Amino acid sequence: MNRKDTFLVFGKPHFNQDEIDEIIDTIKSGWWGTGPKTEKFEWLFKEYIGSKYSLAVNSATSGLFLALKVLGISEGDEVITTPLTFCSTANVILHLGAKPVFADIESDSWNIDPIQIEKKITKKTKAILPVHLHGRPCKMDQIRAIAKKHKLYVVEDAAHATEAWFKKKKIGNISDITVFSFYVTKNIATGEGGMVTTNNRKWIEKMRVLSLHGLSRDAYKRYSVKEYVNYECMYPGYKFNMTDLTASLGIHQLSRVKKNFKIRGQLWDLYNKEFEDCPLLSVPKNEDNDTVHARHIYAILLKLELIKVSRDKCISLLIREKIGSGVHFTPVHLHHYYKKTFGYRKGDYPNAEFIGERVISLPFGANLKVKDIKRVAETVKKLLHQNSIQ
């Protein structure tokens, strides 16, 4: 089949025989739940990040919930976060009975603006939850300084930022707690799954217990010992644990993360080069010299004032050309629940709304080839020029 006849799926996972062999080995082992391979994945990941502790969970959403839970976030509290994120970032705050408070983003980085964070702090504020959008690190030095000044916790949503660094510090080893995602579209993909990192032993131990029904010993510990040891329910916990089937994928995805990161960097640069001569869109801002962008999502901004169709129509036109794309993200405050519950309306967070209305995430990943990137770029430019206001 001609490659141009192939639909380019957005966020298609990249894997090889190692993952298949590991999955088969896990199936044959008879241990499919949380066990030795989950422990191995946790150990490998904390070594990669440089943190003291890690906890594998079934999603980054679960990880964020546990992080806020062990920090004591509860009813009546406020947590400041960005409106330009996936809704789960704000949802977990609500699940704890607290209130998400949005601070607008910087227009160039698309990340939460530290100046706006400080404006939103009240006596009810207990934590700041920055999101490293698309893999670009937030200004963690400024955010941490604000948190220290006001005695607030910092929990990082690093769902996009496994490979990221900020000022020679690895994301995941900077703040109180950091949470990563291994959803199917992520740079490390296990279908579903996530990881929590921290340097606080008390917090990780409590999160571990809470992640599996609140039991004092998980099933692997209960059934793999030589002598039976009873267990107790220490807290009314949850079912947030990762399984060995999931960890089997993660072990090998992590082993190739550096190699894949190099490939992603080359494809990222190629997109930038291909779009140099296109006045109808803008490309992501260059990363600062003291940061490392994780290169998770490559997103362009359409210059809507120069074209005749909406962003959503452009995505539909790309689909007709067999090119998948996405929107990362529609600002949370414009979703139905948040408008209805909190009375948000358009104009509340202008920078987030500007980006949210114009952004398109293009196919991107280590499984793509140079010809794929060029095909996408050529198609995008063709469609925009066909619909330009001339």
259: annotated active-site residue: no
Q: CA-to-CA distance for 186 and 188, rounded, in angstroms?
A: 5
Strands (E), the chain: 53-57, 78-81, 99-102, 125-129, 153-157, 165-166, 169-170, 177-181, 194-198, 281-282, 291-292, 298-302, 359-362
Phi-psi region of 270 (alpha: psi -120 to 50; beta: other; left: phi over 0): alpha
Query: Among the options 186, 262, 303, 369, which is catalytic?
Result: 186
Tell me the C-alpha distance between 193 and 182, whole Å: 5
Which phi and psi (to 5°) does residue 123 adopt? -65, -20
For 153, phi then psi, to 5°, come to -80, 155
What number of CA atoms fall less than 13 Å from residue 24's CA on the CB side?
5
**81-120 residues labelled b (16+ CB within 10 A) or e (exposed):** bbbbbbbbbbbbbeebebbbbbbbbbeebbbbbbebbbee
Q: Which amino acid is at 171?
A: I
Which residues are tagged catalytic? 186
